[in-house]
């Protein structure tokens, strides 16, 4: 993961956004959603959306469950938050997600005008916040959410993913 300072500007006052001291609690909520996603056969990624310290939406991946390639945890959570708040502009909200968002999800964060994205583990293959692309910092976007990496649960997130994929590989080899 590339190390560079974030250059985005906030859409909401710093006093209304989730603080780094809230990261552990909110990332653990996202991790619980990731575990639920894994239980029904989806890649265990979870997300929560927070406004004024309160979770307004939560989701886990549902691509397999819904046969929908766009059913990533972040996109589902953004849709649920928009419904719950009755508006598509989520400029006073923060997205907590267990794994660095892909290009689709980073784009959705920009389009939803999210103020902040916090992720728990980098995605060296498809991450579009810092690992492979820097979509949240792209100068050509009309909005740039702030972002931060919360490394304290990284090992737990990566272990959950590793165990899931090991099980998936084992199931396929048994079927052969």
Any catalytic annotation for residue 74? Answer: yes
Q: Which backbone phi and psi does 169 adopt, to 5 degrees?
A: -65, -40
Please state, as a whole number, how many other Cβ atoms lie within 10 Å of the Cβ of residue 125.
Answer: 9
Please state, as a whole number, how many other Cβ atoms lie within 10 Å of the Cβ of residue 107.
Answer: 17
Residues 6+ positions from 174 with CB-CB distance below 8 Å: none
Q: What is the DSSP letter of 8?
A: -
Q: CB–CB of 128/106 below 8 Å? A: yes
Catalytic residue among 74, 80, 124, 134: 74
Q: Which backbone phi and psi does 31 adopt, to 5 degrees?
A: -65, -35
- β-pairing, 116-119 vs 146-149, is parallel
Residues annotated catalytic, as ranges: 74
């Amino acid at each position: 993961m590339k190390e560079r300072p974030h250059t985005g500007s906030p859409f909401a006052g710093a006093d209304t956004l989730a603080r780094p001291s809230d990261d552990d609690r909110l990332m653990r909520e996202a991790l619980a959603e990731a575990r639920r996603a894994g239980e029904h056969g989806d890649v265990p990624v979870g997300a929560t959306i927070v406004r004024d310290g309160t979770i307004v939406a939560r989701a886990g991946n549902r691509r397999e469950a819904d046969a929908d390639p766009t059913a990533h945890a972040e996109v589902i959570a953004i849709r649920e938050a928009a419904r719950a708040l009755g508006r598509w502009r989520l400029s006073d909200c923060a997205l907590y997600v267990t794994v660095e968002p892909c290009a689709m999800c980073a784009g959705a964060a920009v389009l939803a005008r999210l103020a902040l994205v916090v992720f728990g583990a980098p995605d060296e293959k498809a991450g579009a916040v810092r690992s492979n692309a820097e979509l949240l910092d792209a100068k050509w976007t009309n909005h740039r959410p702030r972002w931060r990496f919360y490394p304290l649960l990284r090992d737990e997130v990566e272990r959950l993913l590793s165990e899931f994929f090991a099980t998936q590989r084992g199931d396929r080899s048994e079927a052969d």
